[in-house]
Structure 1
Amino acid sequence: MEVDFLLIGQGIAGTVLSYKLHQAGKSVCILDKASDNNSSRVAAGLFNPVTGRKMVKTWNADNLFPEILPLYAELEQLIGKRVIYSKPIYRPFNTIEEQNEWMGKSIEAGLQAYLSEVRLNSLYPEVNDPYGGIMLKNSGYVDINTLLDGYREWFEEFACIRDEVYDETQLGKKAGKWKYKDIEAEKIVYCNGLGAMKSCFFDFLPFAPVKGEILEMKDDFTPNEIINRGVFRITMPDHTIRVGSTYSWHDLDTGPTERAKKEIFERLNKIVPTEEKELCSHKTGIRPATKDRKPFLGKHPDGESVYIFNGFGAKGVSLVPYYSNMMFDLLESQIEPEKDVNISRFFKYI
């Protein structure tokens, strides 16, 4: 089999990049063991324009957010299944000072695309928000599991996707092309999350793996809004409640923990006081985050035609649509990615 591109991994990054390449008429083969792809499949899929304890606009939001809805709407139409849920995000204020600060911020031009309302009183009696909060727009979540499964099914009809673990020891060069088992490819792209840490090409990159845990439970309070302050609380289409997430840089064991469960409920109780409800699931995933919290795009300085599109951490749903365009330009036209995401920023460590 001869292809233009061999992509390692079919998480959010591999899915979107392979779609862009396929739409441009390029032949693509994906290697991905679906059962091992926990990072994307456990992720909440939020796209949130105001984040963090200080409630600031998401890094590079003005470039990222115009790309999100159009891209996922295309993929939704492609696979014939709903994957994108546009929902307002409500972030309660902790103090009257925050309320006053956001009353001033609300007139800033840079926030108009994302800020729907500054509330001065409580939104729901079930929510602990005596000072009100901000209501965000151009926000929501992507059903990542439906997207990955639906895209995989669609892609199998038009191209090659193999459900197998990638073994880099079987990769070699033949007549200027990369050869992997029976596959010959012009270029190879590592989209396999933390798997790239074990690659002889990209083991120099400073990944900073982060474990996240998410709960799903039943509750009578099922608002349309995503409530997000310390934890997110999302009403799912089946009216279960998804709550999370934790961030652990030390405990990278793949199993769920009582410690994380307790932490999530403690944080949840601060914004939506609730008894511990019936749990439907408790899931974990290890995110491919990076030390500087910026993704990895680029070509290996020595490995001919070896590339990486990776390191999107917890914000892959927001980051990948925009940066997939930049990655496509690199693969097709050798236009270098922007410096803050280009892996050239780490070449001094090789």
Structure 2
Amino acid sequence: MVDYIVVGLGLAGISFCEVLEKEGKSFKVINDASQQASQVAGGLYNPVILKRFTMAWKAKDQLENAKPFYLNLEEKLGATLDYELPVLRKFASIEEQNMWFEAADRPDLDYFLSTNILPNNNPAIDAPLGFGEVKYTGRIDTRTLVKLYKNYLEKSGQLVSESFDFDAFTTDGEYVTYKSITSKNIVFACGYGLKQNPYFAYLPLNGTKGELLVIHAPDYKEDNVIKSSVFTIPMEDDKYLVGATYKWKDKTNKPTEASKNELLEKLKTFLKCDFEVVDHVAGIRPTVVDRRPLVGKHPEHKNFYVLNGFGSRGVLIGPSASRQLFDFIEKNTALDLEMDIQRFTKKYYSN
């Protein structure tokens, strides 16, 4: 008997497992690694939507929760995960510069947006109008995080590496049983895999395919995240992440030549040095019609829960949403109405 079964081990599953461990709850994780959104994510934490110069949903509060969360994971797993990096937004016009200054005067945004226009000192970048700097940003190495956390759970005997088999899952109303595992609660944190879940498939999870490139560019010599029509994020050994695409029809994890060409075309509009593509990855982001997470309890089964719909902001949302779900289950505290799945239950759910 355990307190929880957690299905999925991406950013949502890891975040919730961390809360469970901190609160002394026993759990088992079922994971088949079929959903790759967390592993192929850029891992960028940036509270500002740079297309419109607006704050992302509750991003400041999420960032305050996320920073100590990842610091604790670094100590626990013995690895660097959080790389603090400024994000430099390349200006395409004088109008964009003016919009930046207007945005920097707004509450909340003034904390993150520097009012100093940074000149471009990198000969490998075409940016005659300079950059705006977003402060307190960085990258979480999500690929390393998922790998090390999986190893951590394997060593403690808490991980079952297999696809969740709904034919081997039963409930008596009080407890749930998966094969030989009996639990008080089950939390589905399986990303886009939720579409195959017979209990929560009614939720309007869209799924957006994202593709990233890894380039090797020894002459780039850039230590900041550069955001133009695509972003470049520095890694180790003169490598950079380049992304990302947003495709709504293709629901496979297979990289495509079309998206690769799209990324390269946009990259070449500002990158003026030679580079080589050394990797190309894809995954399906769990996105929702209203761009809010899907968190809460099944309308009929009292101990079935969902933690999903983080989209491209799982690095920021995961820790806060996981804590909210745990407190909702264990302390009966209300969920944020904007993320509570009750907002969709009446419209979409039928027996």
TM-score bin (small chain): over 0.9
CA contact (8 A) 2:31 2:160 kept: yes
Root-mean-square deviation (CA), in Å? 1.6
Q: What whole-Å deviation, never above 9, does each CA across 1:155-205 have from its counterpart, x for those lacking one?
A: 334451111110112110247210110000000000011121111210110
Q: Distance in 2 between matches of 1:13 and 1:83?
A: 16
Partner residue, 1:74: 72
Distance 1:189 1:78 in 2: 23
* Paired residues for 1:144-159 under 5 Å: 144-158=142-156
Give secondary structure in 2 for the equivalent of 1:346: helix
Structure 2 unaligned runs (5+)?
A: none
Residue 88 of structure 2 corresponds to 90
User: Match of 1:260?
Assistant: 259
Output the CA distance in 2 between the equivalents of 1:250 and 1:269.
26
1: CA distance, partners of 2:11 / 2:283 = 14
The answer to whether residue 113 in structure 2 is matched with residue 115 in structure 1 is yes
The correspondence for 1:171, drawn from 169, 173, 178, is: 169
Cα drift, residue 61 of structure 1: 1.7
- Quick check: 2:48–2:56 contact (8 Å CA) kept in 1? yes
What residue is the counterpart of 2:244 in the other structure?
A: 245
2-structure distance, mates of 1:203, 1:115: 40
Secondary structure of the 1:122 match is: coil
Quick one: distance in 1 between partners of 2:208 and 2:47?
A: 21
| Structure 1 residue aligned with 2:318 | 320
Tell me the residue number matched to 1:295: 293
Question: What do the CA deviations read for 1:91-145 (whole angstroms, capped 9, x no partner)?
Answer: 0111101212323433444223312453163342322222222111111111112
Aligned residue identity for 2:222: P
Match of 2:194 in 1: 196
What is the alpha-carbon distance in structure 2 between the residues aligned to residue 118 and residue 101 of structure 1? 13
Give the conservation status (yes or no) of the 8 Å contact 1:9–1:32.
yes
Gaps of 5+ in 1: none
Within 5 Å, give how 1:1-350 maps onto structure 2. Answer: 2-34=1-33, 36-119=34-117, 121-158=119-156, 160-174=158-172, 176-219=174-217, 220-275=219-274, 277-348=275-346, 349-350=348-349
Q: 1:173 to 1:106 in 2, by over 3 A?
A: closer
* 2:307 partner SS: strand
Q: Is the 8 A contact 1:212 1:285 kept in 2?
A: yes
**Cα separation, 1, equivalents of 2:62 and 2:116:** 23
What SS is found at the alignment partner of 2:163?
coil
| Cα distance change on mapping 1:340 and 1:85 into 2, 3 Å | same
Letter in 1 for 2:234: T
Is the Cα–Cα contact under 8 Å of residues 4 and 187 in structure 1 kept in the other structure? Answer: yes
> Share of identical aligned residues, percent?
33
- What SS does the corresponding residue of 2:253 show, helix, strand or coil? coil
3-state DSSP of counterpart to 1:99: helix
Distance in structure 1 (CA, Å) of the matches to 2:231 and 2:166: 38
Aligned partners of 1:94 and 1:339: how far apart in 2?
38
The separation in 1 between residues aligned to 2:150 and 2:136, in whole angstroms, is 27
Once the two structures are superposed, residues 26-64 of structure 1 have per-residue CA deviations (whole angstroms, 9 ceiling, x without a partner) of 001000113x23111111111112224223222212211
8 Å CA contact 1:217–1:280 kept in 2: the answer is yes
User: How many residue pairs end up in the alignment?
Assistant: 347
What stretches of structure 1 move > 6 A for 4+ residues in a row? none
Q: How far apart in 1 are the matches of 2:261 and 2:173? A: 57
Give the secondary-structure state (helix, strand or coil) at the position aligned to 2:312. Answer: helix
Asked whether the 8 Å contact 2:53–2:103 carries over to 1, the reply is no
Q: Which amino acid is the alignment partner of residue 97 of structure 1?
A: E
Q: 1:306 to 1:38 in 2, by over 3 A?
A: same
- 2:213 is paired with a residue whose SS is strand
- CA contact under 8 A between 1:106 and 1:118: conserved in structure 2? no
**Distance in structure 1 (CA, Å) of the matches to 2:270 and 2:143:** 28
TM-score norm. by structure 2 comes to: 0.94
* Distance change (3 Å), C-alpha of 1:3 and 1:116: same
Deviation at 1:251, TM superposition (A): 2.1
3-state DSSP class of the match of 1:112? Answer: helix
Instruction: Pick closer, same or farther for the CA change 1:104–1:174 going to 2, 3 Å.
Output: closer
